[in-house]
Chain A
Amino acid sequence: MRLAVLTDIHGNAEALTAVLADIAARGCDGMAVLGDIVGYGPDPAWCVDRVRSLGCVTLQGNHDAAIRGSGDDMSTNARLAIDWTRGQLSADQADWLAGLPLTAEMEGLALVHASWQAPADWIYVTGEATAAGSFRASRARLTLCGHVHVPQLYSQDLRGMVAGMRVSIGQAMPLLLTRRWLAVVGSVGQPRDRSPLAAWALVDTTAQEITFRRTPYDCGATALKVRAAGLPEALALRLLGGD
């Protein structure tokens, strides 16, 4: 099965549209959205409806949870954006976000927004130490998560050693049967690895491969919308530089 994995869309309609078109062109058997559909971006309601219409496995991220919860533990810009986002969503949309699950398992894959170690604690998997925590908690051959906005691949070998691997974009990476794997999928709507291109991943469970992909979109248009919505300027600039 070829599974397209999207995460951290963050109310970016242009990026989501471009990625969905790219996925349609490449073909896949299923999709999964690992959360943070809203927050930061100017089109949260549109993105909620679009993701809902996909009818695929969809998880809750910390920004989605903050719509009905509190944004107290968030950075200033994130909190300002969440306060603005609440006013953009209908009660039905907010209910849907609040009702999303934190984790899912399918085809031997474990899916989570932040870390399988403690899904509701929103732990950032940013290095081998935090990856090791996830490997300890999960028994899946491949765990997929988001939250960090920087694509990364980790493996745990027979000896229990966890190693980060260089991700090459567009190259199918073999998921060796001798190891267990953790893929941090980059962000669709707000990449932070110095590339403004929308990030997603394609997992092939038959060939046991994962391909990290990047899709260009009109980030300038989204940045203008961020500005027009009165959201913090930094959130607009960030889309242009991918930082």
Chain B
Amino acid sequence: MLRPEKGLTIDGFTLGDPLHEGGFATIWAVTHPLYRTPMILKAPKILDGDDGPTIVGFEIEQMIMPRLTGPHVPRIMGQGGFDSLPYIVQEAIPGHSLQSRFDMGPWALSDLLETAARVAEALAALHAQGAAHLDIKPANILTRETGEMVLIDFGLARHRDLPDLLEEEFRIPMGTYPYIAPEQVLQTRGDPRSDIFALGALLYEMATGRAPFGMPSKMKQLKKRLWLDPVPPRFLRPDLPEWLQEIILRALEVDPERRYQTAAQLRFDLQHPGQVVLTARGRKLKPDGWVTLWKRRRRMRGVTRLGATWARADVPILLVAVDLSPEGEALHDLLITWVRRMLTHQPDARVALVNVIRTAILGLDSGTDAAGQSIHVSRLVALKHWAADLKGGGLDGAGMNGGGLNGGGLDLPEAQLTFQVLENSDAAQAILDHAAQVGADHILMGARGHSTARRYLGSVSAKVVAEAAASVTVIRAPSPGAPSLSAQTTGAPSPGAPG
């Protein structure tokens, strides 16, 4: 086996200066006649005896990183095995990691939101490719000159479609203790929501200047994470907004089921603080009392497993685009019937209701209607009213749906139903962007009938169908002349032409 040294050429790569010597690996500048991008070569230090973690971590990087694409991961140019020199050559990302910024204490709110949203975007991109990083911390996040966050060090990562080389090797929780998620403490490797927890811990530290769980170094201290709630950020910094605390503590929920389910959802909240639904989480001002803690500790003692590997894959996200205009009313009940039908097949599906405020293409919108009311707020109220039918609590919920699925109202819990009001000059684009952001699997929307609006504005549903990455179902009222299958639908008179 070769030793890395300056001037060594392997598989066309020529080693330049050593850049960094860490505990587990050495990093070298490297050039290749075919590549103009600056590159680095990472070679694990092979120490004497059994240093399994180093080798396996390196192997995991060799296995997973070449499968990842996009700006949020370094590009891989080459790799070698133990027959000559074990190495990975990857694109060099210049600059410091986020660690240097973390060392400077709390962040300004605008910087915090901007940076965290970009990290969430990187996580969403990673998760969408079937990988979970599982060691998210400031030192593992770099920034491209173009602004994208780049995740590095995939030594603990897990890919949905690849074997987990660490699974049978080690029996201690692996990760960086200040940021590790409770389910990782319990040895669940491969739940992407673990990365969301780690980002929650980063957010906490950015907001308050201290890590939510201190700097534990022992396994026993780590177990506290299952029952001891972090001090509410607003207890440390009363000037922090409630919505930010709501976001942070939701990301830090012990049970992955109660966290943000996708990084895209977290990113959305960071970008739209006005739409964060406040709960007791956001309002609490002091840590839980000892009785609560004692009860929780007792309860958690019996918990040996949390989270699930790639649980998200089984939880479809259903995006429902609701048209609140008088014109869209004709399809309301039909749309609700279809949402209910889909929920009977996928009871755990997450439903994202959206409505689009069409902003003028030119000029600024006041965001306020003639009565001085915020259009945004009034739309949100209307959307929630619409959803009351879904929850089975609407006064006309049972009567108007002629379909076979009324009666048993579907009472969706908070975490399963979200409302968003979007603003865009192009309704279809707003729906497409939002679908991509939340990682929607299925879009459900009504088709507009013949109308002046449609003639001039084009079909929203046609554009969504053509361009969405998700499946799209377009709901259409039956045309009066068509053979009647419409007994199950509302008799809303509609010109019933294609949307």
Contacts and interface: CB of A to CB of B under 8 A. Distances in A.
Interface of A: 157-159, 163, 165-166, 168, 171, 173-174, 176-179
Given A159-B50, A166-B163, A176 B63 contact: yes
B163 A178 contact: no
B243 interface: no
Interface-centre pick from A157, A177, A178 (highest chain B CB count, 10 A): A178
B55 A158 contact: yes
Contact of A173 (B50, B79, B83, B162): B162
Contact of B59 (A166, A168, A173, A179): A179
Contacts of A171: 161-162
Contact of B55 (A166, A173, A178): A178
Given A174-B162, A177-B82, 19 more contacts: A157-B55, A158-B55, A158-B82, A159-B55, A165-B163, A168-B161, A174-B62, A174-B63, A176-B59, A176-B62, A176-B63, A176-B81, A177-B80, A177-B83, A178-B55, A178-B58, A178-B59, A178-B82, A178-B86
Contacts of B50: 159
Contacts of B79: 177
Nearest to B55: A158
A171 B67 CA distance: 12
B13 to A, nearest CB: 14
A173 B50 CA distance: 26
A185 B172 CA distance: 34
Interface-centre pick from B63, B66, B163 (highest chain A CB count, 10 A): B163
A168 B130 CA distance: 15
Interface-centre pick from A163, A171, A176 (highest chain B CB count, 10 A): A176
Closest 9 CB pairs of A and B: A177-B81, A165-B163, A171-B161, A178-B81, A174-B63, A178-B82, A158-B82, A178-B59, A176-B59
Contacts of B168: 163
A176 B52 CA distance: 16
Nearest to B1: A158
A159 B82 CA distance: 11
13 contacts: A157-B56, A158-B55, A158-B82, A159-B50, A159-B52, A159-B55, A166-B163, A171-B161, A174-B63, A174-B67, A174-B162, A176-B81, A177-B86
A contact face: mostly helix, strand, loop, or mixed: loop
Contacts, number: 42
Interface in B43-87: 46, 50, 52, 55-56, 58-59, 62-63, 66-67, 79-83, 86
A10 B309 CA distance: 39
Contacts of A178: 55, 58-59, 62, 81-82, 86
Nearest to B51: A159
Nearest to B168: A163
B265 to A, nearest CB: 28
A174 B83 CA distance: 17
A127 to B, nearest CB: 14
Nearest to A166: B163
Contacts of B83: 177
Nearest to B46: A158
A35 to B, nearest CB: 27
Contacts of B81: 176-179
Contacts of A166: 163
A187 B379 CA distance: 61
A131 to B, nearest CB: 15
A178 B59 CA distance: 7
B434 to A, nearest CB: 31
Contacts of A159: 50, 52, 55
Nearest to A172: B161
Interface string B184-213: 000000000000000000000000000000
A168 B162 CA distance: 8
A166 B81 CA distance: 22
A170 to B, nearest CB: 9
Contacts of B66: 174
Interface string B27-52: 00000000000000000001000101
A83 to B, nearest CB: 42
A168 B163 CA distance: 9
A56 to B, nearest CB: 28
A165 B167 CA distance: 10
Contacts of B162: 171, 173-174
A37 to B, nearest CB: 31
A195 to B, nearest CB: 19
A177 B55 CA distance: 12
